[in-house]
A and B are shown apart, each in its own frame.
Chain A
Amino acid sequence: MTTKQKASSGKSSTAGLGIDVKDLKVHYDTPDGVVKAVDGVSFSLRQGERMALVGESGSGKSTLAMALMRLTRAPGRIAGGQVIIDGQDMLDLDEEEMRLQRLNEVALVPQGAMNSLNPVMKIKNQLLDGLYDHQISGDQKMSKEEQIQVVEKLLVAVDLAPGVAEMYPHELSGGMKQRVAIAIATSMEPRVIVADEPTSALDVVVQRNVMQTLGRLQKGLHASIILIGHDMGLVAQFSDHVGVMYAGRLVEVGPVKTVFKSPKHPYTRLLIKSLPTLSNKKEFIGIPGLPATLLNLPEGCAFCLRIEKSNPNPIPWVKVEKDHFIQDCKNCANYGK
């Protein structure tokens, strides 16, 4: 992209590693106690790889997404851990430094782009906003022609007509707004894209189109992408790796094909079993019990509590095979087999 003048700043220095998250903790301080919404999550992702994080509502997945962007708001706070992108721990930076990293190194495709665009600003200005803010063109401002070129390029890349530049958000459909959000997120060629349920409000056909666009751009940029969601179908379609979250912890991480074929953690197993499919009519089984409440969650296995078992001991993080890890709790490992 022509706007890119920092291209030589050594984006390919750390070989292959896109993002490395180590023991990340996000806590909410509430009058009733500390809610550990993200409780020691670690994973890493190579450049150009796609990973999906799935879980029920309240599993901490959106909180994790916000923490990766360092956009956690009070009463939430990042209580520990590291988020390393390009050799730099994002949690070490001061506010201003971090602000410059957003969009440049790590960008967010928000949930429900409907509400994330400014209603009184033309699309072209919203696309240029980030670039200006990060002073992409150095001291000299972009000329009118340059601006038009950049905007057009960004719009065309997400399959929108150049004419959209002169429109306001209310003139666009949901799918188009989501495309604009993707254009903004990729405008500075970030190393990591965090997509928080990017298509949850869209119809299936539009969803398919938008996801394919997002995938194509991500491949072109060779960026890592973290897709947050609850739709296992979308995960199967889109990502290479999947991480399953339960009660603020990762319970299983692995390549998508292996995890869908032979899930090792009981929660993953039930999650996949409870999915309705088009291929066969079967008895519909939900996951028994209720999702865990995160307030004062005891140490040990959180899933055991849901199925009326218990294991208060620390649960080891065990490698099953290459790239495939689970929280291996002896008491519930065989549940639902």
Chain B
Amino acid sequence: MPAVLEAKNVTKVFGGGFLSREEENVAVNDISMSLDQKNPKIIAVAGESGSGKTTLARLLLGIANPTSGSVEYDGKDLKEITRTERREFRREVQPIFQDPYGSYNPFYKVDHVLFSPVNNFKMAESRDEAVHMINQALEMVGLVPAETLGRLPHQLSGGQRQRVMVARALLLKPRVILADEPVSAVDASLRATILDAVSRLNKELGIAVVYVTHDLTTAYQISDEIMILYKGNLVEAGSVETVIKKPKHPYTQLLIDSIPEADPNKKWGKLDMKKTQEKIVTAPSVGWRK
């Protein structure tokens, strides 16, 4: 059985080209990853700004086209699928973006973002069924339908808004959820509830999740596997336990070392940036490369 979604040696180059004054910028360099159908996992794609993690996410969503390599959905290249297949792809692969406020029209009640996908993809036979589905989805992400529906976006907290987005994705019965920094715009105390909802979708409904983030601690908490990106290159990948607990690549080590641990007894050590930089550039990548 082909993977639901698979990136095969994708590379994305911005700028450069004929008559261009800008230098080439390789945002994603020869990265492969696949989301298994049988054994849906949560895969974290982690890296700092400029690592190419969002570009990789956009390639997987089919919003951007790879310069070389291919993204395949059910074994078919995204560039070559038919309109009907693309529509199916748009339903089965659901994005959740960073800023939950940006996804709403401030003049419409939140009901709008929930009812329109249901209508659009004809997920329900009748309005009653639609309401029933929406209530179920909201409860699944830990929201009380009566307290959520009928409100305007600004009347909800950031955490609630983002959970409504998770519920929206859920309504379409997707096989893959691609969450790009879903909690970085949300207060720390509310992050847990959102990530918990995402993790439950994976465990209980078997939805594969790509979790794009800069935050290794939350990645460690919810994912099964992790890919560490550095300047467009995959430097280390593997099970989250191995990568976080026994990082092999110097960049991964630096990242993990630099996380401010919430423990006053475990302080940051001294750091020789120059030496570390040299090591990072020369070290080979670690872990799965397909």
Residues of chain A having any CB pair with chain B under 8 Å? 56-57, 203-205, 207-209, 212, 230-238, 256-257, 260, 270-272, 274-279, 281, 284-287, 290-291
Contact = CB atoms under 8 A, between A and B. Distances in A.
B239 to A, nearest CB: 12
B149 to A, nearest CB: 17
A236 B264 contact: yes
A105 to B, nearest CB: 29
B273 interface: yes
Interface in B48-69: 48-49
Contacts of A271: 188-189
Interface in B201-228: 214, 216-218, 220-222
A236 B192 contact: no
Contact of A286 (B189, B218, B259): B189
B14 interface: no
Given A284-B192, A284-B195, A286-B193, A203 B259 contact: no
Contacts of A274: 188-189, 191-192
A291 B221 CA distance: 24
A208 B273 CA distance: 11
Given A209-B271, A236-B262, A284-B196, 14 more contacts: A56-B188, A204-B258, A205-B255, A230-B187, A230-B188, A231-B260, A233-B259, A260-B264, A274-B188, A277-B262, A278-B216, A285-B192, A286-B159, A291-B189
A332 to B, nearest CB: 16
B264 A256 contact: yes
B157 interface: yes
Contact of B187 (A57, A205, A236, A277): A57
A281 B267 CA distance: 21
Nearest to A271: B189
Interface in B181-195: 187-193, 195
A204 B157 contact: no
A205 B222 CA distance: 22
Contact of A276 (B192, B214, B265, B267): B192
B263 interface: yes
Contacts of A291: 157, 187, 189
Nearest to B220: A278
B261 interface: yes
B283 to A, nearest CB: 16
A203 B157 CA distance: 26
A284 B187 CA distance: 15
B195 A203 contact: no
A102 B256 CA distance: 38
Nearest to A203: B48
Contacts of B221: 276, 281, 284
B260 A233 contact: yes
A107 B258 CA distance: 27
A76 B85 CA distance: 56
Contacts of A272: 262
Contacts of B220: 276, 278, 281
Contacts of A212: 268, 271
Contacts, number: 108
B189 A203 contact: no
A286 B263 CA distance: 19
B244 interface: yes
18 contacts: A56-B188, A56-B189, A205-B254, A208-B271, A233-B262, A236-B261, A236-B262, A237-B267, A237-B268, A238-B260, A257-B265, A272-B262, A274-B189, A276-B218, A284-B195, A284-B199, A285-B192, A286-B192
Contact of B260 (A236, A256, A281, A286): A236
Contacts of B273: 209
A277 B259 CA distance: 10
Contacts of A257: 264-265
Nearest to A285: B192
Given A233-B260, A236-B262, A204 B217 contact: no
A56 B258 contact: no
A204 B48 contact: yes
A259 B221 CA distance: 24
B157 A278 contact: no
Nearest to B240: A281
A197 B262 CA distance: 16
A279 B218 CA distance: 12
A260 to B, nearest CB: 5
A276 B217 contact: yes
Contacts of B265: 257
A313 B123 CA distance: 53
B261 A237 contact: yes
A209 B48 CA distance: 15
A209 B268 CA distance: 10
Contacts of B192: 274, 276, 284-286
Nearest to A206: B48
Nearest 9 pairs of A and B residues by beta carbon: A233-B260, A286-B192, A203-B48, A287-B189, A284-B192, A286-B193, A208-B258, A276-B217, A237-B260
Given A274-B188, A281-B220, A286-B190, A260 B271 contact: no
Contacts of A207: 258, 260
Contacts of B196: 284, 286
A231 B188 contact: yes
A212 B193 CA distance: 32
